[in-house]
Amino acid sequence: MATGFVPPPYPHDRLEGLKVVAAAHPDGRGIVDLSIGTPCDPPADAVVAALATSGAERGYPQSIGSPRLREAAAGWMSRRFGVALPASQLAACVGTKEWVATTPHWLHLRRPDRDTVLYPGTSYPTYAMGATLAGCRAVPYASLDDVADDDAARALCLWVNSPSNPTGELADLGAAAAWGRARGVPVLSDECYAEFTWDGPPRTILEHGTDGVLAAHSLSKRSNLAGVRAGFYAGDGDLVAYLSEVRKHAGFMVPGPVQAAAAVAFDDDEHVDAQRERYRRRLALLADALGSPLPAGSFYLWVPASSAEPGADGWALAAELAGTAGCLVSPGEFYGSDGAGFVRIAVVQPDERLEVVAERLARRP
């Protein structure tokens, strides 16, 4: 009989009950699913065309990414962030979720004397899961000043995520890089929402140098390509060389046609500018309907449950929104116990569906 690891229920699988409630909204206009951060808008035509015409189907693709893809990704980093990187400091990943989930394992193989993964206390659940999958301790932090000396001494890596899923906050990436360098701890900066930065320009940790830091980027959100699985990581040359070698041995490969399409997507910023405007409009629409503040980045609203009724928790607000507005949202507990008093609302439905939610909210008793 197995006595070891038992995967916990997948967070969104726990929403089945609320889904039924939201779908039964009495106005008959159906459920509006704002629970998962999955884009609903179409990708750029040229990107879809590249998927069909790359001729890259028959051979194995390069695990590290084709020269064309790596140049396009480096070109985007230079345009967007003003960071110039040689292609040798950048490698492909199959979307960033697998990279987040597996990197602690590969780092632990290299540094078995370090057993602790530090991650933001209210965050994307895969940071903690990656620690567990590596057989490491997952230790949340509220701020870098709070990390205990013992945890820092044992740290294999430190995660930062800016703009944050779920809070939309921006982190001080320069401070994180300095913290890691002072302690010899690699800093892994998940920047997959960077294009959706509302307070100021998009930021990357690589603006503060590449020593000891890696930035992860994805086309899932930037270019509405969550279905094709394309991302990359970049930064410290030694870490990129190690991770790209071990990932090659393990067979992580972005499919060839996807690499071709990803290069086309990274070459173009126009479709991203249009997407930014869509999210900006949708965030304003729902923030207004809920009376909640706008985030500094991301396409999430992080709404305190106390705005519904004093003392209510995120599950209670999620249930209320399902019943009264027919909309499915994520209870903040999915992102750590400190988030239990919130819900996360992803504005990933077309405007007309969000207007349905706003109308229903306005009619709430």
Ligand X SMILES: Cc1ncc(COP(=O)(O)O)c(C=O)c1O
**Paired residues of 216 in beta bridges:** 190, 233
Site string for ligand X, 142-181 (x = CB under 6 A): -------------------x---x----------------
What type of residue sits at position 43? P
User: Using an 8 Å Cβ cutoff, are 74 and 90 in contact?
Assistant: yes
Is residue 189 a contact residue for ligand X (CB under 6 A)?
Answer: no
Find the shortest distance in angstroms from Cβ 331 to ligand X. Answer: 16
Q: d(Cα 37, Cα 328) in Å, to the nearest integer?
A: 12
Site string for ligand X, 81-100 (x = CB under 6 A): --------------xxx--x
- Which residue stretches of the chain are H helix? 16-23, 45-53, 67-81, 96-110, 126-133, 149-154, 173-183, 219-222, 237-250, 256-267, 270-290, 314-325, 351-362
Name the residue nearer to ligand X (CB basis): 122 or 324: 122
Find the shortest distance in angstroms from Cβ 2 to ligand X. Answer: 28
Return contacts of 146-153, CB within 8 angstroms, 24+ apart: 147/118, 151/116, 151/118, 152/118, 152/183, 152/185, 153/183
Name the residue nearer to ligand X (CB basis): 124 or 141: 124
Find the shortest distance in angstroms from Cβ 130 to ligand X. Answer: 11
Name the residue nearer to ligand X (CB basis): 62 or 123: 123
Name the residue nearer to ligand X (CB basis): 171 or 358: 171
Name the residue nearer to ligand X (CB basis): 125 or 209: 125
User: Using an 8 Å Cβ cutoff, are 9 and 196 in contact?
Assistant: no
Is residue 120 a contact residue for ligand X (CB under 6 A)?
Answer: no
Instruction: Write out the residues near ligand X by the rule CB under 6 A.
Output: 37, 95-97, 100, 124, 161, 165, 190, 192, 218, 220, 226, 231
